[in-house]
Structure 1
Amino acid sequence: MKPRITRLRRLRRGLTAALLGAATSAAALDTATLTASALSPDCLSYRVTGVCYWLYCSAFGCSVRASVKVQHYVPDAVVASYANTGENPWVEMRPMSQPIPSAQAGGDGTTSEVHENDLAKFKNADVIGHPTGSVFNDFAADFGPACQGAGIAFMPYLLSILDTLAWRHNLPETVYPEALTPGMREIGTRDGLDLWGSVYPRGGFLHQTDDHKAAAVVAQRAGDIVTREGQPHVYQPLLAESRDGYWPAEALIESDASTGKWQELTPHLSSTCMTFPHDNPRAQAQRGDYAWALWRPYECCQRRGQVFLGSVDID
């Protein structure tokens, strides 16, 4: 039986590699490419973190049973950050975000002066549940017990065209302390001359000469919104509730991989994950459309009894 399972795993990974290779030069994303891209051991970061204890009772008495506690990342959502309204790079999802009377056009502001590079850039953002589903679950199960993420495939958690007041007018966040205080909630550093942008106000406008960095900041803003409750935006929280033997991801924090990390999907399809900012080469999209998979960490253990007694973590 084992040789057959091993062959199936090798076949699946071989097909994944082929799909990833074929998709690297693709101009737009499709669901098949996204599904294959999620089979990344680097992004998964699977590890054993401890032991869980359960009280199991039957007609013959009670006993304490143990199960392994594990942590790994799950691709909860695809976060698209793109210039032209209605042109989400995930082609099957474009009908969700077509222009409406209160949200049309897009692109960069310009003074038409070639010597000026301080452009006001604008990006739409869509946060949609990652489509990988059972394919990813089978992949994670190759390493051991698999934890469930918060994302539901194809579920729209944020569509910026519906969040007009906050996304296009920065209301009310333009007057928040985080938006008015330099050095607060920023991606990158001023001292290191590598400031990508500020998380607040969490809208579609910012000043940044590098289009890739601008798109990344907007993606971080969108991820920041959906991983919190009660934000002044039109969205659905991308959160799961904790339960016995299950510890879901918490709020996303910029540059903190322990809260989430990003896998670039377009214009370059990557098989690894990172946080913003990073030093990797940054490809510029010709039409200003970018997308990342947002991976978030979950911990869980297999239920082995009726009552959860607790867990012990290992270093």
Structure 2
Amino acid sequence: MSLLLASRRLRATVASLLLGTATSTFALDTATIVSSALSPDCLEYRVVGICYWLYCTPFGCSVRTSVKVRHYVPDAVVSSYSNTGENPWLEVRAMSMPNPTAKAGGDGTTNHDNENNLAKFKNADVIGHPAGMVFSQFASASGYTCEGAGTAFMPYLLSTLDTIAWRYNIPEAFYPEALIPGRREIGTRTGLNLWGNVYPRGGFLHQTDDYKSGAVVAQRAGDIVTRRGQIHVYQPLLANARDGYWPAGALMETDASTGKWQELTPTLSNSCVVFPHSRTRVQAQQGDYAWALWRPYSCCRRRGQVFLGSVDFM
């Protein structure tokens, strides 16, 4: 009887360990991502100025004002992962399965025990953040809110469809940013915190730290989608400016005023950073990482037919 009880306990322990492993490895789902958007630190809501509008009726015209606000919006989820077809965000994994031109992935290897091959490869997907209405309700508690550029679940870049540029670095391997040391780098050499180079914006890089590799590739993907006319297969993640609305522009490394990152996996953070950062970096066992890309928007409520301009406090 004691042996039977011990056997049952052993099976229960093994099952719980397996379940715990599966949970930690596959915890990134849509519900988790949506709830992560409720972050005051990433939102960073501020009143930054005043907008002026000309309001006219049959009885005359007057100038009205409205408050100009600035805050960040989670535009997209950027995944950076080693194994093709294994995006850590489960519900969108089918968008980027292997195909005849994009099959394998992972680190470089020569199959020698004493090798020191630092070559790493990461796939990258940029997909519209799913928070949608939940984020709007959260942000509106602070006041008037601005609309972001992202559409929920919209694929803006899938590296499996961008084979020539992503896997062969053509033509960006020959760009000055890729050939001249010190240009478009994440971190600095003098500060001894160089994580990697933005160009060429593909999946390969040389880096011993897998987390840093994932972050650099995520930055590259974000760099592509926040610009128009890039030689990649992608959709621009950009909104058009209009009266009383100033959307986010091009993402620049180390510059929080252009965008910042909220880690979603392997650890879930409730705050945002830029790369490089000094926080604890957890290495993903399967080489899969994901961040929410938050970008800044400014806007004010329309209070007339003609926009006269705005004045910022600072």
Q: TM-score, normalised by structure 1?
A: 0.91
Aligned partner of 1:133 in structure 2 is: 132
Residues 196, 95 of structure 1: CA spacing in aligned structure 2 closer, same or farther, 3 A cutoff?
A: same
Aligned partner of 1:258 in structure 2 is: 257
1:162-173 correspondence to structure 2 within 5 Å = 162-173=161-172
Shift of 1:115: 4.1
Poorly superposed stretches of 4+, deviation over 4 Å: none
Q: Judge conservation of contact 1:117–1:209 (CA < 8 Å) in 2.
A: no
Aligned partner of 2:69 in structure 1 is: 70
Shift of 1:192: 2.1
Q: Judge conservation of contact 2:108–2:117 (CA < 8 Å) in 1.
A: no
Aligned partner of 1:20 in structure 2 is: none
Aligned partner of 1:160 in structure 2 is: 159
Instruction: Letter of the 1:72 partner, please give it.
Output: H
Shift of 1:25: 4.8
Aligned partner of 2:202 in structure 1 is: 203
Aligned partner of 1:302 in structure 2 is: 301
Flag structure 1 segments of 5+ consecutive residues without an equivalent.
1-23
Residues 159, 219 of structure 1: CA spacing in aligned structure 2 closer, same or farther, 3 A cutoff?
A: same
**Mapped partners of 2:27, 2:166: distance in 1:** 24
The yes-or-no answer on 1:280 pairing with 2:279 is: yes
**Mapped partners of 1:264, 1:104: distance in 2:** 27
1:155-194 per-residue CA deviation (whole Å, 9 max, x = no partner) reads 0000000000000000000000000001110001112222
Shift of 1:113: 3.7
Instruction: Letter of the 1:293 partner, please give it.
Output: A
When the two structures are aligned, how many residues end up with a matched partner?
Answer: 292
**Mapped partners of 1:312, 1:25: distance in 2:** 48
Structure (1 or 2) with the larger CA radius of gyration: 2
**Mapped partners of 2:115, 2:70: distance in 1:** 48
| SS of match in other structure, 2:187 | strand
Residues 286, 26 of structure 1: CA spacing in aligned structure 2 closer, same or farther, 3 A cutoff?
A: closer
Residues 26, 104 of structure 1: CA spacing in aligned structure 2 closer, same or farther, 3 A cutoff?
A: closer
Identity %: 75
**Mapped partners of 1:117, 1:304: distance in 2:** 63
Q: Judge conservation of contact 2:26–2:90 (CA < 8 Å) in 1.
A: no
1:50-104 per-residue CA deviation (whole Å, 9 max, x = no partner) reads 0001011112221111000000000000000000011000100011000000000
Residues 26, 65 of structure 1: CA spacing in aligned structure 2 closer, same or farther, 3 A cutoff?
A: farther
The yes-or-no answer on 1:124 pairing with 2:123 is: yes
Aligned-pair RMSD on alpha carbons? 1.1
**Mapped partners of 2:25, 2:299: distance in 1:** 36
Q: Judge conservation of contact 2:172–2:178 (CA < 8 Å) in 1.
A: yes
Instruction: Letter of the 2:267 partner, please give it.
Output: H
Q: Judge conservation of contact 1:118–1:208 (CA < 8 Å) in 2.
A: no
**Mapped partners of 1:25, 1:53: distance in 2:** 51
**Mapped partners of 2:195, 2:114: distance in 1:** 21
